[in-house]
Amino acid sequence: MRLAQVLRDDLVAIHQGHFDGTDSDALVVHLLAVAIRTGANTTPLLEASRDCLRQHPFMPNMMRLELFKRRGNATKLLQLRYSKQNDMSLSVPMDGVALIRKALQRSEPLLGDAKPAFRNRLWLYRADKRGAIAGQVIPLSQRMLICPPDQATRLVR
């Protein structure tokens, strides 16, 4: 419950332009809010493509989120050939859809600078000025979802 409240507060700050974090921090907030709203695991969400939203066949006030779900120890050729077994489709209410569309909008200007392998990814950001990847457009990674200790204290207060 507390995590959802903190994410909501951060979303409000992002949309009002008062968020203190980096662009990658803002994307993490969006991703975690989508994960909470949909129940999706973070790995398939991190690997989501830019065209992951689909019309819902029966509910006009919802959309479907199509994600690729990895199966543990999937080494059989059968699983590679029949990709339907690895597809995961979740119904997403329109507030969750708005979060995904905001992430798409934030990353749209970066597509021209992204490597071809990353251009179809949803969660793109420009790396900050530090490190070997400074200035490059890259997708969020699982490592980005680990909460630093200084931010974790905010969740338990």
More confident call, 45 vs 148:
45
- Mean pLDDT over 117-124 rounds to 95
pLDDT at residue 156, rounded to an integer: 45
Q: Name the band, by pLDDT with cuts 50, 70 and 90, for residue 39.
A: confident
Determine contact, residues 86/69, Cβ cutoff 8 Å.
Answer: yes
Q: For helices 2-16 and 149-156, what crossing angle results, to 10°?
A: 110
More confident call, 127 vs 84:
127
**What residues are paired with 126 via a beta bridge?**
137
Task: Tell me which DSSP letter residue 58 carries.
Answer: S
Alpha-carbon dihedral 36, 13, 61, 103, rounded to 10 degrees: -80
Q: Is the pLDDT of residue 8 over 60?
A: yes
pTM for the model stands at: 0.78
Alpha-carbon dihedral 28, 31, 35, 40, rounded to 10 degrees: -120
- Mean pLDDT over 142-153 rounds to 68
31: nearest Cα among 52, 62, 17: 52
Q: Is the pLDDT of residue 90 over 90?
A: no
Task: Tell me which DSSP letter residue 19 carries.
Answer: -
pLDDT at residue 151, rounded to an integer: 57
